[in-house]
Every structure is written in C-alpha cells, then in structure tokens.
Structure 1
Amino acid sequence: MALTEPFAETWLDTDEGHILHLTQYGNPDGVPVLYLHGGPGAGCSANEGQLFDLSKTRLILLDQRGSGDSLPHGGLQDNNLLALLTDIERIRQWLKIEAWCLAGGSFGATLGLIYSGLCPKRVLAQVYWGLFIPSDQGRDWLYGGNGAAKRFPIDYLGFVGTAKADNLSFNTLMARYYRALNGGNRMQQCIAAWNRWERVLAQPWGVPLPVEPMKREEATARIESHYAINRYFDAYTLMKAGRGKWPAHTEIIQGSQDWVCPDHLLREFLAPVAKDSFSYTHVSGGFHSIDDVKMHTAVYSGCARMIASAAAQLQLGEPR
C-alpha cells in the first residue's frame, strides 16, 4: 500500500547539531514499526510504504542524521553509529512506545540488528533484507578490487577512474573519494560515480540511468564514505556481541544475486547463531534492491508475518 499523507510529521532536535525528520503513516492504533533506511545516508522514500498493510501498521519513517529531510543535509559532525543508535531510543521514548517492530534493508538492517541485540525487550519482532556485514571483508567486497569488482570489472574501472585512483591502494581510493565528496574539485563527478557503482550492484545487469548529483545523492555518497573510511565505527563488533539475543520473531531475507551484501558473508556471520534464533529466506534470483519484484514480494510477506506476530503479542484486534 503506497503512502498517502502522514498523520504526523515532526522535526526533533538532538541538541548535537542535528535535527531529525520523522513522519508517521497508516493507523495510529496499529502495530508500531520503525523503518530504518539504508546507506547510511539514503533517507526514506514513499516506496517503503508499499511493504506494509497500513490499515494495521503505525509506520514510523526516520531520516537518520544528515539523511533525507533531516538537517543539516549530509552533515558528518557527530554522525556515527552510537549517535544513530541513541537516536532510535530517543525517538521510542519521545513517542512513548514501550516496544515496537523494526524493519529495514542494507545498512538499515545492520543498524536494526545491533539495536535489537542491545535492547531485545524493546523489539516485538523484526524483519531485515540485504543485511550489510560491516566487517573489513564487507567493506572491501563493496569498494575494493577483489570483491564485487571482479563481477563488474568495467563498471569498477569507472568507479576508481573517476577518483583518479587507478593502480593505487584501497585506502588511497577511499581517501580520495572522501576528500572529493567533501568539497574537492571533482565533487560532482565523484558523487555521480559513487552512486552509479552502488546502483550497478543493487540492480545487476540492468541499465543504470545517468545519476544527476542531486541533494539526496550527495548526502548518500558523503555519509557512506564517512562511515566506510571510519570502518563503520566498529559496528561489526557490536553486531557479533548481540548475535542471537534477538527477539523470537526475527526474519532475515537475502537475494542470491545481491552483490552489495553477498550471501557468503551473511552466512558466515549467521553460522554461530542457533538456527531457532531466526528465520532465513533465500530468494533465488533476488537482487539487493526492493525495486526487484522477487525481493519486494518476499519482503512484503515477511513484513506481514512480523505485523501478525506483534499484533498477537499486543493482543490487537482487527483495525477499526
């Protein structure tokens, strides 16, 4: 069901130089669901509403620090993993929600899984897709020369060539992009190249349209580069520490053709976790993006199961 008009829209001041944009859709008496967008830095969009039955859902869309309509746009100061996790708790308390559901893809799934490991009693149920593993291996797969680059070599040459980092080290590539995305003389070209590379991996073997460096593309590139160069602020350590402490209803959905977050890294991460701690859905032929029909269908079904599980726990009846 597509989003219509929000029943509430708010800007929350963090007192740390960031103002968060928060919108709520659907049924105010429905199951509360916090949607965590990816990137980091991508912001929320109307497409996310199509994943839920809004007659049963109180959908809460948060534009994380520097993302979407939050301010300052693309802001990097005090933008780190701990700050994002603190913002989630701040919003839950401000909305006076005792426990809620979490849903999200890519880095949003990373963030949600960490939060649920830290605060399992605050999460009724959760569903994630395209889970990004924020290890050095995950980062190197995404941006280095020996991971996704091997599957899409021509596109990767364009990615490194734009930063004029051919035959240079991975760290040099990251450093050059970081400088360029934060005011370098090739900023516009690097914004476009950064976003194009990720679109190639999210929708493989499609025909990526030219990316005009717009407001959201700039924020996504800057914030993603900021997190990557800081090794995601040790997110992987927190993910491993919370592994298996998740709520009973935890679903993870993964496409076999996801080249942003490859299946082999996800399986390695999940291997030590008891099989009854989560459910895993492997989508044959599924991509990273939920614009892919196979992934959209699988995620929609997962969100419906999540809402049903949470409604039973909250003893909610049919929507009025």
Structure 2
Amino acid sequence: MEVGDGHRIRCQEAGNPAGKPVVVLHGGPGSGIAPMARRHFDPAAYRIILFDQRGSGESTPGAEDLRANTLWHLVSDMEMLRERLGIESWQLFGGSWGATLALAYAETHPSRVSEIILRGVFTVRQSELDWIYRGGAANVFPREWEEFLAPIPQSRRDDPLAAYAELLEDPSEEVRHRAAIAWSTWEGATVSVQPQESFVRQYAEPGFALTFARLAVHYFSNGAWLEEGQLIRDAGKLAGIPGVIVQGRYDTVCPPTTAYELHQAWPGSELRLLEGAGHAVTDPGVLSALRAATDAFRE
C-alpha cells in the first residue's frame, strides 16, 4: 500500500474475512511480520491484519532511508490502512515496540479501537532507555553487556545510544556491520528469562541486525518523537477501551514497572503479571495468557 513520502508498506490478512478485525503491531522497531503473530488468534473468529512498518520487512524503502519514518508516520499509516480496509474499529495487539505504537495510535484515535492487548510494555521514557542501553540490564547480563560495549571507543561509553548512532553512520561498511550485529545481539541475549542460543543467532543475522539496529537507534535517539512520559500521562484517553496487559515478572528488556504504571493510569485495564517469564513471547505462560485474552475478546 502506498502511504506517501515515497513509502510502500507490505500488508497481509489471515483468518476469517468476515471476522472480528485485529491489527498486529510488530516489535523492534524493525523486526517485521513474523508467522507466530497470526497464531495468537482463532482464525475462525478473527480477521487478522498485519503490516511491515516503514523501513521493516518487505516495506520500501528499507532502513537505509530513514526520511519520513517516525512514530507519527506509523500512526498515520495505520489510519490509512484501516480506512482502506473499510474497518470501523479494530482490536490492537502489540508487544514491546508494538505496544508503544498501539498506545500512540489508541491515544490519538480512541474511537477506532475496540480492545487492546499488550505484551512487554515499552513507552520510550528516558528511564526505560537508560535501563536497557545505559547499564541497568548490565547488572543481570554483565558478559553480554561487555560485548555490547565492545564496538564503542572507551571515551564514548558514557552514552552508548549516541555512540551507536555515530557507528551506524560510519563510512566504513565493516564498522557499520559490526555495530549493528553487536546492538542486535544484545537484545537477543536479554530477551528471554532463560537465555537461548536460537534468539542470539536470529538477532545476529546480518540482514536482520542492520535493519533492527538502524531503526531502533533512529527511533530511540529521538525519543520516538514523544514528550517525556507522554504515553502513560495520556492513558486516561483509553478509558472505556477494554485492555489486557501481559507482562513477565523478569522482563529485562522492558521491566514490569512500566506495565504497572500504565495499568494504574489506564482506567479498567487488566494487568496479568506472569511469574517465571521474561520478555520473549515464548517464555513460560506468555502464549497462553495472550491467547486467553484474544479468546475472551472474540465475540
């Protein structure tokens, strides 16, 4: 679908064309549509809508061109897609960065949202960025943190996010690739409560890592074009929208304090805090909690 600014986004549907519409918002930013995302929904009951966000997956241009690629462009793309499909209102489903986008869209267009299901809540506050990219999570994953810092000169390690923004624009392709893989591998190493080599390999794959790192650093260096604390501050706009927040107790990427604060600010929301789970959708209890939520909202 053409969305303007020279961007085309890849869109996909699955399930029942006459079913309850739900839009799935992938994480990252930059991870793209994953087959697992369709499996959270009863295909007989749901019309499942997915899209690769700007710069991600098969959308064009890729992450090498970051012009006209902000959170508010993505919100606008969602509205264009909803109108294109003739949908009055839809359920929002997103985890991690997908939760960020879901909240931004719902607070902008609350009348177009029937329900919201979030996992591993992230709202791009400075405290959240500092936790994962300025040494908080390093207390849990010290060896992996050392590897994350390895591409950065000693003199620039006080602000890794700013340092990575420079490395990913370096004239040397070798420098850019090394930085992208180190950035992406850090997330792969911390995403599950039980570290899994398969996640590390997936995130370290060069093609994935370059897109993932460039988009993430682009968005986070700009605070996702949000005012500090905006998404939780404005959560009162979600009053009347049923919502379920699924959060791992031991989520190292997006610690549960953010989900808890959102729950407190969002009237009528339900927080399901899962003991023994981290950030990954495959961690203990996460899939069953998400599917229980989508089943509850089927009708």
TM-score, normalising length: structure 2 = 0.92
- Provide closer, same or farther for how the CA distance between residues 237 and 206 of structure 1 changes in structure 2, counting only shifts above 3 A: closer
Deviation of residue 229 (structure 1)?
A: 0.8
Among 63, 80, 83, the alignment partner of 1:90 is 80
Q: Distance in 1 between matches of 2:233 and 2:76?
A: 18
For the 8 Å contact 2:263–2:269, the answer to whether it is kept is no
| Aligned ranges 1:52-201 → 2 under 5 Å | 52-74=41-63, 75-145=65-135, 147-165=136-154, 168-170=157-159, 173-185=160-172, 186-201=175-190
Deviation of residue 169 (structure 1)?
A: 1.6
1:249 pairs with 2:245: no
Q: Distance in 1 between matches of 2:32 and 2:211?
A: 9
The aligned counterpart of 1:284 is 275
- Write out per-residue CA displacement over residues 74-107 of structure 1, whole angstroms, 9 at most, x where no aligned residue: 1311111111111111111111111111101001
For the 8 Å contact 2:157–2:163, the answer to whether it is kept is no
Deviation of residue 302 (structure 1)?
A: 1.3
What secondary structure, in the 3-state scheme, does the structure 1 residue paired with 2:164 have?
helix
Deviation of residue 165 (structure 1)?
A: 4.2
Q: Which amino acid aligns with 2:209?
A: E
Deviation of residue 72 (structure 1)?
A: 0.9
For structure 2, which runs of at least 5 residues remain unmatched after alignment?
Answer: none
For the 8 Å contact 1:67–1:216, the answer to whether it is kept is no
Runs of 4+ aligned residues of structure 1 deviating over 6 Å after TM superposition are none
Deviation of residue 37 (structure 1)?
A: 0.5
What secondary structure, in the 3-state scheme, does the structure 2 residue paired with 1:248 have?
coil
Deviation of residue 242 (structure 1)?
A: 2.8
- Provide closer, same or farther for how the CA distance between residues 183 and 57 of structure 1 changes in structure 2, counting only shifts above 3 A: farther
The aligned counterpart of 1:7 is none
Deviates more, 1:207-216 or 1:14-23: 207-216
The aligned counterpart of 1:304 is 295
What secondary structure, in the 3-state scheme, does the structure 2 residue paired with 1:97 have?
coil
For the 8 Å contact 1:165–1:176, the answer to whether it is kept is no
Deviation of residue 62 (structure 1)?
A: 1.0
Q: Distance in 2 between matches of 1:13 and 1:39?
A: 22
What secondary structure, in the 3-state scheme, does the structure 1 residue paired with 2:272 have?
strand
Q: Distance in 1 between matches of 2:155 and 2:147?
A: 10
The aligned counterpart of 1:258 is 251
Query: What percentage of aligned pairs have identical amino acids?
Result: 31
TM-score, normalising length: structure 1 = 0.86
For the 8 Å contact 1:253–1:281, the answer to whether it is kept is yes
Q: Which amino acid aligns with 1:255?
A: G
Q: Distance in 2 between matches of 1:182 and 1:13?
A: 28
The aligned counterpart of 1:223 is 215
For the 8 Å contact 1:81–1:235, the answer to whether it is kept is no
What secondary structure, in the 3-state scheme, does the structure 2 residue paired with 1:244 have?
helix
Q: Distance in 1 between matches of 2:264 and 2:15?
A: 37
Q: Distance in 1 between matches of 2:94 and 2:154?
A: 33
For the 8 Å contact 2:121–2:258, the answer to whether it is kept is no
Q: Distance in 2 between matches of 1:251 and 1:200?
A: 27
For the 8 Å contact 2:245–2:259, the answer to whether it is kept is no
Deviation of residue 19 (structure 1)?
A: 0.7
Aligned residues: 292
Deviation of residue 228 (structure 1)?
A: 1.0
- Provide closer, same or farther for how the CA distance between residues 92 and 236 of structure 1 changes in structure 2, counting only shifts above 3 A: farther
Q: Distance in 2 between matches of 1:27 and 1:273?
A: 31
For structure 1, which runs of at least 5 residues remain unmatched after alignment?
Answer: 1-11, 312-320
Q: Distance in 2 between matches of 1:204 and 1:84?
A: 30
Deviation of residue 180 (structure 1)?
A: 2.3
Q: Distance in 2 between matches of 1:104 and 1:257?
A: 19
- Provide closer, same or farther for how the CA distance between residues 34 and 261 of structure 1 changes in structure 2, counting only shifts above 3 A: same
Q: Distance in 2 between matches of 1:215 and 1:28?
A: 33
